[in-house]
Structure 1
Amino acid sequence: MTVDPSKKKRYYRKNVDFFKLVEKIKLWPSRTGTLHGIKSMTIRGNKAEIITHCNETFEIFNSKHSRAARCLRNKLFFHACTTCKIPDWKLKKYSSTYVNQDYGSRL
């Protein structure tokens, strides 16, 4: 009996370092609700610079309670960026990922 990878549930810890979570998921929700794919991420202390596949640059702070952290945990986005061309398998994997307080990978 094989399990379909798109239906497999993944759990990550809620209190894990925010930069590690973003590096693992490789997706970034912008303020407009667009989900971007991350090309590279450079960490400098408490800040990080994200460059997306559509060559947009975001400077983020290491905050577990930020708008972006809430959006990643709760999967709040309206649509995926057409320029970044995020594959369907990655969106299915993201939608089957849960963030839990007590259970999951510590990354």
Structure 2
Amino acid sequence: MTGQLIGYARVSTTGQKLDVQLDALKAKGCTKIYQEKRSGKTADRPELEKMLDYVREGEAIVVTKLDRLGRSVADLANISKLLDDKGVGLIVIDQGIDTTTPHGA
């Protein structure tokens, strides 16, 4: 993968902190990080939408955990298809998922 790494960090409530996620995303090499404090149960996640619109072919989205990205399996499947259609990789740090490599890790 030659494109930039784009991070996405989310916590469910305004009282929670993004620090641990932001540190992990920076350590992974993310050059741009979108962040929001919103429940994953809501479909209204404007920063996620901005990121999905911004990311380009050859780049990769990085999250610390899969549940930071999607609300449900169906939501994750839709996001995964969108990324695949755009030629964008997905890296999930804690689960060792990396679609930018042939082995996924």
TM-score range, shorter chain: under 0.3
TM-score by length of 2: 0.27
Identify, as 1 or 2, the structure richer in helix. Answer: 2
Identify, as 1 or 2, the structure richer in strand. Answer: 1
TM-score by length of 1: 0.27
**Structure with greater contact order relative to length (CA < 8 Å, sep ≥ 6):** 1
Larger Rg computed on CA atoms = 1
